[in-house]
Amino acid sequence: MAIDTPKVMLSEEQILQRVDELAVEISKDYAEKGEIVLVGVLKGAFIFLADLSRRLTIPRHIEFIAVASYEHGSVPTGAVRLVMDVRASIEDKHVLIVEDIVDTGHTLHYLIDMLKTRNPASVRTCALLHKEHNTDVEVNVDYLGFSIGDEWVVGYGLDYAEQGRSFPYIGSVQPDDQ
């Protein structure tokens, strides 16, 4: 499938406007709490995390984590495994998990449960996109950029078969097999 001409769903301007708003809201909510630990979920969240973190006005510490879905054949089973852990201890820290997209909810659900076992002061979640009608497991997204439908989206960190991550906008594409 050629993804070089996706249909623009969210322009760069719309995305950055929303990132500005989220940064203001998060900075306000955490103003009295001291440092926040931003945990970006690789790979998709790398651009969102970069833009969000630069707009916060509170002290922040940046970490990354990577997970993968277990598949049966090429079908996701819903089970998630840790591929790369954060480097620092999050004990007694205020953690904000930063995701590019919540789809079935399995990844975020796994991460919230796993990070909570490490005795952080709090765990909240921030996602740029949420496919709310696809959700298998209920997860609470405390800071949400946009709710979207069941489309395959690329750009601003999100990929289709590793293509399209660097588009400045978010576009929808139609995979060949659908």
Q: Which residues bind ligand PRP (CB under 6 A)?
A: 41-44, 69, 99-107, 159
> Alpha-carbon dihedral of residues 132, 108, 159, 20, nearest 10 degrees?
80
Q: How far is the CB of 80 from ligand PRP (least distance, A)?
A: 7
Q: How far is the CB of 100 from ligand PRP (least distance, A)?
A: 5
Q: Is 136 a catalytic residue?
A: no
Structure tokens given for 127: 């996602």
Q: Where are the alpha helices (DSSP H) in the chain?
A: 12-29, 46-55, 106-116
Looking at the Cβ atoms of 40 and 120, the one nearer to ligand PRP is 40
Looking at the Cβ atoms of 33 and 104, the one nearer to ligand PRP is 104
Looking at the Cβ atoms of 83 and 121, the one nearer to ligand PRP is 83
Q: Which residue has the tokens 């750009």?
A: 155
- DSSP summary character for residue 142: S
Q: Which residue is nearest to ligand PRP (CB)?
A: 44
Q: How far is the CB of 77 from ligand PRP (least distance, A)?
A: 11
Whole-number Å distance between alpha carbons of 156 and 72: 29
Q: Could you tell me which residues are beta bridge partners of residue 173?
A: 152
Residue tagged active-site, from 4, 20, 29, 103 = 103
- Point out the residues that are catalytic: 103
